């Protein structure tokens, strides 16, 4: 699978329109598209590492990958399900590993505006954690949780287990889909079930076999020297640089080599965005790394991961997700999609229900990272893609527009 030089140049030109010129609506972008063999169809580095930086975006630039981490966590979890170590549908096993999930209460708002914690009416399963129906939420999205936590508040990206352990559910288990901190709990389940912290498990069972050497929960000093700047888009569209949102691994020393280090399974990885294509390509290739022949997952496991787990709870296009912290996320649809489309949820990523006109096939998977990073995996057409920026809040109009244009061009070129 390849592009002509002309088509390649056209796609590069699209990204360069956003990162160059007087308008320069995006400081820098990484864009890569690839086939099921993991080889890039196009790999382009556009702009600079920061709006005020002269350093060009390059293959060495390190990004906060944010919720891209969830994909690695779901693969690790399903490896253990295959081995019989974990069971998707056994609340008894889950509570044995994480007794905190037996004790957790459900947050309710009373008619007078006060809050109360009530008992669960159903036990939580590992499958619920993977498909975001367990009842956990993010405080940056859920106003009820955010208000309940004040005046101290909950920090979704503070790098602490304590913050995670102190959160109640916001829904009864199984009642509804709500994107939240469930995957951080899956990471804790993996660590307790294997006796390894997530950094070591990922490295041994996913990253090293795939050659994803830059991806880590704890960036080395060399990696931090190549870190892209984090940006904030102000209400007038102006971009400014700011401190990284997820800072603890950046200031605590590379390996944080103590037994208390927290590997945030829902958002904690840093690395080179283009390297993540290797993991996505494994899903396109039914669980096998085409380059080495290494099998990470059985084909039937990949099939289950791509099966809609919430058919009775479809997510509708253009339904705005309320946000409690607008400096972190715009009130955009959870996953932008064409009018009239619906999406489901697999294990653990979004699943499209409808084919896009001239684009992704029905059944394609996709997800994103808070700082406006996006990936997709179209198994029918054996193609995937990643676009990565470092801009807050999530749902940046310029990045989404660039993504739509370059992906449309990609599919047109591959016809």
- Which helix (H) or strand (E) segment holds residue 316: the answer is strand 315-316
Beta-ladder partners of 107: 117
pLDDT mean across residues, the chain: 94
Contact 397, 235 (CB under 8 A): no
Q: How many angstroms separate the CA atoms of 13 and 275, rounded?
A: 22
Q: What is the 3-state secondary structure (H, E, C) of 190-210?
A: HHHHHCCCHHHHHHHHHHHHH
Distance CA 386, CA 397 (A): 17
Residue 260 has a pLDDT of 65
* pLDDT given at position 253: 53
pLDDT number for residue 337 = 64
pLDDT score of 254:
47
What residue ranges do the domains of the chain occupy? 3-62+196-414, 76-194
Q: How confident is the model over 366-402, as pLDDT tens digits?
A: 999 999 999 999 999 999 999 999 999 999 999 999 9
290: Cβ–Cβ under 8 A, 6 or more apart, which residues?
36, 37, 38, 281
Where b means 16+ CB within 10 Å and e means fewer, 140-155 reads bbbebbbebbeeeebe
Nearest Cα residue to 122 out of 108, 132, 134: 134
So what CATH class is 76-194?
mainly alpha
Of the chain, the end-to-end C-alpha distance in Å amounts to 11
Residues in the chain with pLDDT < 50? 254-255, 257, 259
**CATH class of segment(s) 3-62+196-414:** alpha beta
């Amino acid at each position: 699978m390849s592009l002509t030089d002309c088509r390649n140049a056209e796609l590069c030109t699209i990204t360069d329109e956003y990162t160059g010129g007087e308008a320069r609506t995006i400081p820098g972008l990484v864009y890569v598209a690839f086939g099921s063999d993991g080889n890039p169809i196009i790999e382009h580095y556009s702009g600079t590492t920061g709006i005020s930086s002269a350093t060009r975006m390059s293959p060495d630039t390190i990004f906060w990958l944010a919720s891209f981490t969830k994909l690695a966590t779901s693969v690790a979890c399903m490896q253990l399900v295959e081995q019989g170590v974990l069971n998707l549908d056994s609340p008894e096993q889950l509570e044995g590993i994480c007794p905190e999930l037996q004790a957790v209460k459900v947050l309710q708002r009373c008619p007078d505006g006060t809050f109360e914690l009530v008992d669960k009416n159903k036990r939580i399963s590992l499958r619920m954690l993977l498909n975001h129906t367990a009842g956990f939420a993010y405080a940056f999205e859920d106003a009820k949780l955010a208000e309940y936590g004040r005046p101290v508040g909950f920090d979704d990206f503070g790098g602490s287990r304590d913050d995670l352990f102190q959160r109640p559910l916001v829904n009864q288990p199984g009642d509804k889909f709500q994107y939240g901190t469930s995957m951080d709990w899956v990471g804790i389940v993996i660590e307790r079930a294997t006796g390894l912290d997530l950094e070591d498990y990922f490295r041994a069972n996913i990253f090293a076999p795939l050659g994803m050497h830059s991806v880590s929960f704890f960036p080395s000093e060399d990696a931090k020297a190549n870190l892209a700047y984090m940006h904030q888009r102000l209400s007038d569209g102006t971009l400014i640089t700011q401190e990284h949102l997820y800072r603890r691994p950046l200031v605590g020393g590379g390996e944080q080599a103590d037994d208390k280090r927290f590997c945030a399974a829902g958002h904690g990885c840093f690395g080179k965005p283009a390297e993540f294509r290797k993991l996505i390509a494994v899903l396109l290739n039914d669980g096998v790394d085409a380059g080495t022949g290494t099998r990470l997952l059985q084909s039937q496991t990949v099939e289950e991961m791509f099966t809609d787990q919430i058919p009775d709870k479809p997510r509708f296009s253009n339904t705005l997700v309320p946000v409690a912290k607008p400096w972190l996320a715009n009130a955009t649809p959870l996953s932008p999609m064409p009018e009239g489309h619906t999406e489901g949820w697999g294990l653990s990523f979004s699943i499209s229900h409808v084919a896009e006109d001239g684009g992704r096939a029905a059944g394609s998977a996709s997800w994103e990272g808070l700082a406006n990073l996006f990936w997709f995996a179209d198994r029918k057409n054996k193609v995937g893609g990643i676009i990565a920026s470092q801009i807050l809040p999530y749902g940046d109009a310029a990045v989404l527009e660039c993504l739509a244009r370059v992906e449309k061009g990609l599919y047109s070129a591959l016809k």
